[in-house]
Structures are given as structure tokens and as C-alpha cells.
Amino acid sequence: MKRHSAARVISGMALTVGMLAGSAFAATAATITIATVNNSQMVEMQKLSPIWEKKTGNKINWVVLEENVLRQRATTDISTKSGQFDILTIGSYETPIWGKQNWLVALDDFPASYDMADVFPSVRQALTESGHLYAVPFYAESSFTFYRKDLFDKAGLTMPTQPKYSQIKAFADKFTDRAHQQYGICLRGKPGWGENMAYLDTLVNTSGGRWFDEKWQARLDSKAWHDALTFYIDLMRRDGPPGANSNGFNENQALFATGHCAMWIDATSGAGLLYDKSQSQVADKVAFTAAPIDKTPNGSHWFWAWAMAIPSTSKNVAVAKSFLQWSTSREYIELVGNTDGWTVVPPGTRASTYANANYIKAAPFASYVKTAIMTADLDHPTLKKVPYTGIQYVAIPEFQAIGTTVGQMVAAALTGQMTVAQTLKQAQASVTSTMEQSGYTQ
């Protein structure tokens, strides 16, 4: 009997101690779940995040998803208030739309030590809606022209600082040598609003075109769209790689890195890999210049930022904010530079990065990237007035569907299934119908 009582007392004490320990732990530490895409910057962040975990006592569960799956999961999670994630990786397209719907927590209360003024104004602007900052950037990019300096030197040609599309066409014709699998130009052809349409939108913008007029009427039947699409298809058929309608950013980067492209117009974030000798066969031959222009410089190069936001359904807002302040800080960028080298630091977000001598030395493309990001004007993306913001996208919820549908039609035109006129007629009808159904037009 006595033995039983003693056992009960010991068990009770153990339970009490255990509960106390448990409650103490719960009061100081939390586990946050971060849903993100798999790119080099995020992989780096995963590697370094134990430093933050150790410093704060909190824990991170990483959920790495494919870009489109992430968008779908994040949308479902927020709209159904499931609260599975505390931090989401989202782009500059989603941020203002989701912020407007109160799906995200405003991040206006970051301490002075975060030095928000150091973040490029164009980047802050892209992540702000109705005066509130809804996401903080971990990298930003624009688009510019990559070219093979060795080929240009050999041909006695000089790439202008600000090339025109007519010049790009002449160069591409000159450098195409199909017998040796060398293509004058590589451009995106894979259908999707963030794939072929990202590039084509910049071409349309600089050709004087726009998606919508001031009254949200679709303007895909304009001469500017016709000229831009005709130019794109002719150029790709004559000087592009075979099967171009399957090529997105990754495929073209691989083609360029393995010496198959003389020129490539795409995201500035591609420069780091092309400069890395362990991954690129043209590391010592690649050079950069601005994205080409035609009738107007407006919207000739895009702007995109991958950012991190806190969904309004998060139950760990304070801890999530603490992580965002650490992972997008100036100190974090320095930590990456000192730990893994300055070529892999998150680019395009902070002025201090571009004032850092280590970074400028390691990334000769830095000044081009900075100029491209600083001059990408999301509020004036076209020659004529438009009711929307966004250069390679239109910042309205319907654009994902619209852009992808038109992207599929453009890809069909590229493979010769439709003429340019047929493509634009169908695209105009489809976009008009969507805008009517969505209530933008009558």
C-alpha cells in the first residue's frame, strides 16, 4: 500500500515538473511554418535559418512547393482561413491584390533598425497597397539583354548600351548558325502569364501597345500588338532554337549557359548563374546591356520581386515578423555574403548591397541590375494611359487566367497553328469576355 502511495507521489511530481517545463517552453518558443518556392535564395535562407532559430528559440517548418502549387495552396489557405502557414513567399503581382482583400498582415511597424529607407523605393512601391506595406522583399529583378561578347568581338560588332529591336534582329540574323546549334536569340516561348507573356508584354509595351485602355476595354486588336507579335514570331522562327514553345526561363538559361544562344533577353536574376564558372560554360564570355526598346522605353523591361508576407490567418504574427525582419535585413545580406560568397546574396532589394565593394567586385552586372530595377516604372508601363499598374502583368486578380489563355494562343501561333491575325482576334474576344464577366466593362 505504501509503495503504491510513493509511486503516485513520484508520478504526480514528475507530471507537475513536466507540465511546468512544457508551459515554460510554450511561453518562450513557437514553431512557424513557411511556404516557399525552391530557388537559390530560399535554399540559402533555409541553410542559414538555424542561426535565427538558435538566437530566438523559435523553430521553422519549411514547406517547399513548386511556384504554381504554392500560389494555389496559398490562395486556398487564406481564402478558407485554414491558417496552415505563418509566412508565404509571394510575388509583386499578388501582394497588392491580396493586401487589398485584407488577406495579409500590414508590415508598417518594423523598427528603425530595419532601415526601410535602404530598400529601393521601386521595390517598396511594388509591395505597397493603399499606403500599407504588405510584404518585404528578399530579392527583386528586372529584365535586360545577355549577349556573348566573344561572338560580337569576332564579328566586329558592338552591342549598344541601349539597343533597339531592329538592331537585335540584325544581330540575331548574323549569329544564327543552325548547323552548329548556335541560335541568334533565345526568348521565352513556354505558355503562361509568367512565362512567354512576361517577355511579350515588354515587347508590346515598347511597341506602343497596352492590354486595356482607360475604360478597361481590351486593346489586343491594336496595330501595336500585331506588330509586336509578328516581330516575335518571325524572330523566333528565323533565329530562335527549335522547340522554343517549350522554353521558359530555366530552359533558355541552360541553352545560354551551354553556349547555344548569342543573345537572351530575360530576368536579371539569371546573371549570377551565368557568371558562375562551375555552372556556366560561357562565364568569361557573357556581357549585359539594357533590354531593347522600340517606340517607347516605357515598359521595355519588367519588374518582379519575390517577397515574404504574413497571411492574416497566422497565429504567430509576432514571431513571423521577427523572422522577416531578420531574413530581409541588411545584416542577413552581409551574413550570406560572408558565409557563401557575394555572388549569391539576394539581389535587387537594398541600396546598401549595391554600395558594398565586395558585392560590386563579385558581381560585375550589379550596376546594370540596379539601373534596370530603378528605372522600371510600374505606374507608367505603356506609351498611352492605362488604368492598371504592372509591366509584365496587369495587377488585377483576373490576369493570371487572362495572361495564361493569351499565352497559350501565342504559343500556338509560334508553332504555326494559327496566324497572328487569328491569334489576336481570338485573344481579343477571350479577354473582352472575361472583363465583361468580371464587371470591368458592360
Partner 1 sequence: MSGVKTWLAGGVAWLIAIVNFFPIFWMLLASLKTEVEAVQTPPLFIFHPTLANYRDIFALQGYAGYAFNSIAISVLATLLMLLVAVPAAFAMAFYPGRYTRDILLWMLSTKMLPAVGVLVPIYLLSRDLGLLDTRTALVIIDFLSNLPIGVWMLFTFFRETPKDIIEASRIDGANVGQTILYVLLPLVAPGIASTALLSVILCWNEAFWSLNLTAHNAAPLTAFIASFSAPQGLFWARLSAASVLAIAPILAFGWISQRQLVRGLTFGAVK
Q: Does the footprint of partner 1 cover residue 76 (CB under 8 A)?
A: yes
- Which one of the spans 7-15, 66-74, 148-156, 395-403 is the region binding partner 1 (CB under 8 A)? 66-74
Q: Which of residues 20-59 bind partner 1 (CB under 8 A)?
A: 33, 35, 37-40, 43, 46-47
Chosen residue from 175, 249, 365, 393 binding partner 1 by CB under 8 A: 249
The yes or no reply on residue 257 touching partner 1 (CB under 8 A) is yes
254 binds partner 1 (CB under 8 A): yes
Q: How buried is 228 (Cβ within 10 angstroms: 0-12 exposed, 13-18 middle, 19+ buried)? A: buried
Q: Does 61 bind partner 1 (CB under 8 A)?
A: yes
Q: How far is the CB of 255 from partner 1 (least distance, A)?
A: 8
Q: Contacts with partner 1: how many residues (CB under 8 A)?
A: 42
Q: Compare residues 33 and 356 and give the one whose CB is closer to partner 1.
A: 33
> Residue 323 Cβ, how far from partner 1 at the closest point, in Å?
16
Which of 52, 53, 62, 358 is close enough to bind partner 1 by CB under 8 A? 62
Binding of partner 1 at residue 343 (CB under 8 A)? Answer: no
Residue 405 CB, nearest distance to partner 1 (Å)?
Answer: 18
Interface with partner 1, residue 308, by CB under 8 A: no
Q: Which is nearer to partner 1, 217 or 281 (CB)?
A: 281
How would you write the chain as a 3-class SS string? CHHHHHHHHHHHHHHHHHHHHHHHHHHHCCEEEEEECCCHHHHHHHHHHHHHHHHHCCEEEEEECCHHHHHHHHHHHHHCCCCCCCEEEEECCHHHHHHHCCCECCCCCCCHHHCHHHECHHHHHHCEECCEECCEEEEEEEEEEEEEHHHHHHHCCCCCCCCEHHHHHHHHHHHCEHHHCEECCECCCCCCCCCHHHHHHHHHHHCCCCCECCCCCECCCCHHHHHHHHHHHHHHHHHCCCCHHHCCHHHHHHHHHCCCECEEEEEHHHHHHHHCCCCCCCCCCEEEEECCECCCCCCCCCEEEEEEECECCCCCHHHHHHHHHHHCCHHHHHHHHHHHCHHHCCCCCEHHHHCCHHHHHHCCCHHHHHHHHHHCCCCCCCCCCCCCCCCCCCCCCCHHHHHHHHHHHHHHHHCCCCCHHHHHHHHHHHHHHHHHHCCCCC
The reply to whether 82 sits near partner 1 by the rule CB under 8 A is yes
Least Å distance, CB 210 to partner 1, is: 27
**Residue 221 contacts partner 1 per CB under 8 A:** no
Q: How far is the CB of 254 from partner 1 (least distance, A)?
A: 4
Q: Does 65 bind partner 1 (CB under 8 A)?
A: yes
Q: Which of residues 260-279 bind partner 1 (CB under 8 A)?
A: 260, 267, 269-270, 273, 278-279
Please report how close the Cβ of residue 35 comes to partner 1 at its closest, in angstroms: 7
Q: How far is the CB of 62 from partner 1 (least distance, A)?
A: 7
Q: Which residues bind partner 1 (CB under 8 A)?
A: 33, 35, 37-40, 43, 46-47, 61-67, 69, 72-73, 76, 80, 82, 84-85, 181, 249-251, 253-255, 257-258, 260, 267, 269-270, 273, 278-281
